Every structure is written in structure tokens, then in C-alpha cells.
Amino acid sequence: MVISDHDFGQIRDFIYTICGMYFHTSKKYFLESRLARRMEATGITACHDYFLLLKSSRDSKELNLLMDEITTNETYFFRNPSQLSVFETMLLPEVLELKNKMGFRKLRIWSAASSSGEEAYTLAMILLEKRATVLKDWIIEIDGTDINETVIAQAKKGIYNAYSVRNIPDAYRHKYIREANGAFILSPEVKKLVTFNKLNLYEDAKMVFMKSFDFIFCANVLIYFDAASKSKVVQHFYNNLQPYGYFFVGQSESLHGVNDKFRTVHFPGCFGYIK
Ligand SMILES: C[S@@+](CC[C@H](N)C(=O)[O-])C[C@H]1O[C@@H](n2cnc3c(N)ncnc32)[C@H](O)[C@@H]1O
């Protein structure tokens, strides 16, 4: 299927207004192939008719199905080891000590654009290792959110393939993953720490409910946004992070030119952001 430049522009702009993802003309082939799948599934042959269906169904089934097609969901456990090590050995102790002094023994972490949940569950495993010591009697809440309903459903199941689990250190793997018929099944104690929900980071009205996080991780998603949508989304992270909290993006990303309120802090092998 070949889409005219006019139809491509209309659908590209519509997608942008919904979720902030911007498909440059160089990505036309990608979008064409994904649209072709949805048009075939709906039995619609003219691109303009499909566009009208999308527009008439804001927030409804077809739009969600298209989102599921056009998002890139690549992820795996323990994806960013230096960031995780800094989180575990430097920042977590610092934040726990501070909250202990305030008498507030609840830790809130957000894995934004969590895809099928590997990042959120990685954090859960790291925290579980501290359950008997520094996190004894603490309430732990890890929120995983994504716009794609299919990956959210996978995350809730907590069953993975060999690719996803390949980087999990042996000690964690033996303790928290069970293998059965080639599938890697997460233990219930890990699953219990994480809640997954659908959330469009570009939807201001929903973002305001994501309050008071001690840590926010938003890795490998802002690359799909243009400067304006990055800036809008990052402002929400800024607003919803505790004054003493930390914000992290992916290994090859930065907030340079996106947000001038967050301050960069450098750590061994990685950097993060503070207010
Ligand atoms: C490459 S994955 C990143 C997964 C994980 N954070 C990581 O770094 O391994 C990007 C995710 O961003 C999600 N996404 C894209 N646009 C979004 C939006 N507007 N709101 C929420 N999630 C979005 C996609 O559905 C996809 O699952």
C-alpha cells in the first residue's frame, strides 16, 4: 500500500496530537506498513476513510489498536546496569534515609512507558533484596504505565522469553524467575510490587494524577517525540517528582534543549536529573 503525501501528513499529524509521537517523512514506509495492517483488519481500502474512522473514534478501540501497531516496544530486564547500580548503591540509601527522618516509610517509583514491564520488574527485584533490611516495613509502590494496551497486558502476566531475561544476573534469576517450557515466569512476590496501567504520557489530564514519586524512569521513549512534545511530557515528570527525587532517561538520551528546570547530576557511568 502506498499512501499519498497528503494522507500521510493528515494521519501523521493526527497521531502527533494524540500521543506526541512524530513520524518524520523518512518513517513513511513504517507508518504505511502499520496502517496497511489496520486497514486490512477493518476492511477499509481508502486511507482517507480510515482517517475518518480514527477521528470519529477518539479514545476508542481502533485508535488503541493503531497505537499498539505503531509503538516500538523493545525492552529487556537489567537494560541499563550503571544506572541501576547508582540507583541501588547511592540514591536509594540517600532517599530512604531522608524519608526515614521524615517518618514516611513509603517508596514510590514510576516506570513511565514501561512497555511489557521489564524495567519495573527489574526495580522490584532490586528492592526485594532489601526487604529484610533497609526496606523492612516499608510500603513499596512501583507504577508501570504505557500507551500500548497489548504490552500492558503482557506486563500484568509477567511471562517472558529468553531474549528479555538474558541480562538478569544469575542470583536474581535463580530467585525470581522460573522456567517452564521455554517461558520465563516471574515469581508472585516480584509481581506484587508493581501495578500496571494504560497511560498516555501526552494526555495532560491523566498525567496530573501521577503524583509524588521518589524516582521516575522514562527510558527510550522521548526519542519518538519532537521537541515540543518532549518538553510538555518532561514538565509533567518535573511536577510529579518529589523535591528530593531523581529522574532518569535512557542511556543514549538527554534533556538537553528539552527542559531547563531539571539539573543534571553526574554519577559513575551515568547521569540523572534533580529539581
Ligand atoms: C522502546 S519502549 C521503552 C521501554 C522501557 N522504558 C525501556 O527503556 O526498556 C517505548 C515505549 O514507549 C511507549 N510509548 C510511546 N508513546 C507513548 C505515550 N505517548 N505514552 C505512553 N507510552 C508511550 C511505547 O508503547 C513503548 O512501549
Q: What is the predicted pLDDT for the residue at 59?
A: 52
Query: How many domains, the chain?
Result: 2
Query: Does 215 lie in the same domain as 244?
Result: yes
CATH number of residue 14's parent domain? 1.10.155.10
Query: Does 103 lie in the same domain as 226?
Result: yes
Query: Does 96 lie in the same domain as 61?
Result: no
CA–centroid distance, 137 to ligand 1, in Å, is 32
In terms of Cα–Cα distance, which of 153, 159, 126 is closest to 140? 126
The answer to the question of residue 76 being in a domain is no
Q: What is the predicted pLDDT for the residue at 208?
A: 87
Query: Does 155 lie in the same domain as 214?
Result: yes
- The pTM assigned to this predicted structure is 0.96
115 pocket-lining for ligand 1 (C-beta < 6 Å): yes
Query: Does 183 lie in the same domain as 250?
Result: yes
84 pocket-lining for ligand 1 (C-beta < 6 Å): no
The answer to the question of residue 75 being in a domain is no
Grouped pLDDT means (10 residues each) for the chain, 275 residues: 88 95 93 94 93 79 93 97 98 98 97 98 98 97 98 98 98 98 97 97 93 97 96 97 98 94 97 97
Pairing mode, strands 177-180 and 183-186: antiparallel
CA–centroid distance, 115 to ligand 1, in Å, is 5
Domain range enclosing 125: 81-274
CA–centroid distance, 114 to ligand 1, in Å, is 6
The answer to the question of residue 268 being in a domain is yes
Query: Does 175 lie in the same domain as 97?
Result: yes
Query: Does 123 lie in the same domain as 66?
Result: no
CATH number of residue 201's parent domain? 3.40.50.150
